[in-house]
Amino acid sequence: MNKVLMQGNNVIAEAAIRAGCRFYAGYPITPQNELCEYMAEHIRKVEGGVFIQSESEIAAINMVAGASAAGVRAMTSSSSPGISLKQEGISSMAACELPGVIVNIMRGGPGLGNIRPSQGDYFQATRGGGHGDYRVIVLAPATCQELADLTMDAFDLADNYRTPAMILADGMMGQMMEPVVFKEPKRRQYPERYMLKGAGEGKSRFIKGLILDQSDMEEHNWKLDRKYQVIMKNETRFEVYRAEDAELMIVAYGTAARIAKGAVKRLGDSNLKVGLFRPITLWPYPSSELREFSRKIKNFIVFEMSTGQMLEDVRLALQGFADIDFYGRPGGVVPTPAELANVIIHRYKKSSKKKELC
């Protein structure tokens, strides 16, 4: 298949269409506008493709819920403040077990913040985001190739588990251009019985999240939880880089992981032994895989473009078996690999000094 040079936002849209997405609703917000614009131009060219520029983020996610219930692959995209508005609908889709893909091209926050790349929405994404007891599958690409691959996978995961899935990237990923090869998408396997198409001659059905009886509601929560347990068991993904003889490990995802990889590469020629652990699924979090490394590595640095959110998951994963340091650049600041390399050198020395003292 041909390699094409494309911008991240466009890659997501193209991958979605190739994966069989036939319904897109969205609302303009920087830095994800190109995704919406690409959809406007291309999704209607395919049979059955529907594009709606909605009046709000809230309307968009509810349109997606309706389209999903009606039986097609559906997607919406936005950036941080817009994703906050969508939470009502995402919670509702999780409750009603409706598949759908939501893309968050994060920007600086809180509030209106700015339009620079940031990773401040980690908590929101990985803890469900809206009200109630639910989770959303969260995939964190770090290259344009991954934007393509993970977008396709997000549709499969959403269908398989009948739950919303999110692509969590940032303005940097959305705006940059890289060569991409679109893989052949899998055939959709989503049973007709979950679709709402009119009862025909048969029994009518309804889809709902309102369960007034508390014991039924409790059972629904446990039912969702059993599904989440299966997802946690089967769907964690991560990448490790130069972990073999590492004495210090950086943990970072998305754009931060790219920067970290650059820093680790730079340090390759020095005598510092630094590796990288990059979670690809942020929920489910690859906790036990990360914990495995704490058997031989006792120093970790979490690097995020936030004040420290994934940091909590790393702490939960490592359970005190290793020292955890944190370096963060929130608010839309994107540090260079050189800056991070300096931080690593500094902390590396500090930790070896500590070792000597012991």
Partner 1 sequence: MKKVFGRPHSLKTSVFHYCPGCGHSIAHRITCEVIDELNIRGITIGVPPAGCAVLAYFYFDVDMIEAPHGRGPAMATGIKRVLPDRVVFSYQGDGDLTAIGIAESFHAANRGENITVIFINNAVYGMTGGQLAPTTMLGQKTTTSPLGRNASLDGYPVKLSELLVPLPGTTYIERCAVNSPANILKAKKAIKKAFQCQMEGNGFSLVEILSPCPTNWKMSAVDSCKWIDEVMTKVFPLGVIKDTPAAGKKTGKTEKEENAG
Beta carbon nearer to partner 1, 26 or 141? 26
Among the listed ranges 17-25, 237-245, 292-300, 322-330, the one in contact with partner 1 (CB under 8 A) is: 17-25
* Among 6, 65, 136, 260, contact with partner 1 (rule: CB under 8 A): 65
Among 35, 36, 39, 59, binds partner 1 (CB under 8 A): 59
Closer to partner 1 at the Cβ: 81 or 331? 81
Binding track, positions 95-134, relative to partner 1; x by CB under 8 A: -x--------------------------------------
- Angstrom distance (rounded) from CA 339 to CA 257: 14
Enter the tokens of residue 14: 């193209």
CB-CB neighbours of 181 under 10 Å = 11
Spatial distance between the Cα atoms of 321 and 169, rounded to a whole number of angstroms: 30
Query: Is residue 221 classed as helix, strand or coil in its secondary structure?
Result: helix
Would you call the peptide bond into 284 cis, given omega within 30 degrees of 0 as the criterion?
Answer: yes
Q: Does 268 bind partner 1 (CB under 8 A)?
A: no
Task: For residue 292, give every residue at least 6 positions away whose Cβ sits within 8 Å of its Cβ, in sequence order, or none.
Answer: none
> Within the chain, what is the greatest distance between any pair of CA atoms?
79
Cis omega (within 30 of 0) on the bond before 185? no
Among 4, 33, 85, 88, binds partner 1 (CB under 8 A): 88
Q: How many chain residues bind partner 1 (CB under 8 A)? A: 47
Burial class of 96 by CB neighbour count within 10 A (0 to 12, 13 to 18, 19+): middle
**Least distance in Å: CB of 29 to partner 1?**
16
Please report whether residue 49 would count as binding partner 1 according to CB under 8 A.
yes
Residues near partner 1 (CB under 8 A):
22-23, 25, 44-52, 54-56, 58-60, 62-72, 74, 88-89, 92, 96, 196-201, 204-210
